[in-house]
């Protein structure tokens, strides 16, 4: 029993490391508008996302998904985040906020 539990912990740990590394990969599609480090005002209309907290980024991305957040770029961003799941949003937010 202990071996199985330990193996599960090791696999979970490896999965967590892989997900953390995926933040940069997932962010690549964002970088064209927001900049490599989230330093740009996307299309002259967005906030500078590198200045946002991880929680603010998550809230914004989930808000774009459900239509409860956003200004002039609301429609564009809804399409950008529509296919992301909650874990991917968290990983991207961690990547931007670090």
Q: What CATH number did the domain enclosing 71 receive?
A: 1.10.760
Could you tell me the residue range of the domain that residue 13 belongs to? 2-97
**What's the average model confidence in pLDDT over 53-60?**
97
Which token pair is 93? 């937010």
* pLDDT at residue 85 in the model: 96
Which token pair is 20? 């953390």
Tally of domains in the chain: 1
**What's the average model confidence in pLDDT over 79-95?**
96
Segment 20-29, tens digit of pLDDT: 569 999 999 9
Mean of the per-residue pLDDT values for the chain?
Answer: 85
Which residues does 54 contact at the CB level (< 8 Å), separation at least 6? 93, 94, 96, 97
pLDDT above 70 for 5: no
* pLDDT at residue 28 in the model: 96
* pLDDT at residue 72 in the model: 80
Which residues does 78 contact at the CB level (< 8 Å), separation at least 6? 64, 65, 67, 70
């Amino acid at each position: 029993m202990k071996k199985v539990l330990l193996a599960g912990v090791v696999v979970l740990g490896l999965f967590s490391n892989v997900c953390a590394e995926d933040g940069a990969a997932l962010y690549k599609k964002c970088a064209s508008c927001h900049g490599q480090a989230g330093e740009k005002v996307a299309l002259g209309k967005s906030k500078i996302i590198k200045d946002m907290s991880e929680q603010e980024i998550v809230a914004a991305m989930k808000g774009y998904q459900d239509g409860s957040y956003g200004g002039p770029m609301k429609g564009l961003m809804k399409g950008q985040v529509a296919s992301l799941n909650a874990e991917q949003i968290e990983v991207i937010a961690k990547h931007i906020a670090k």
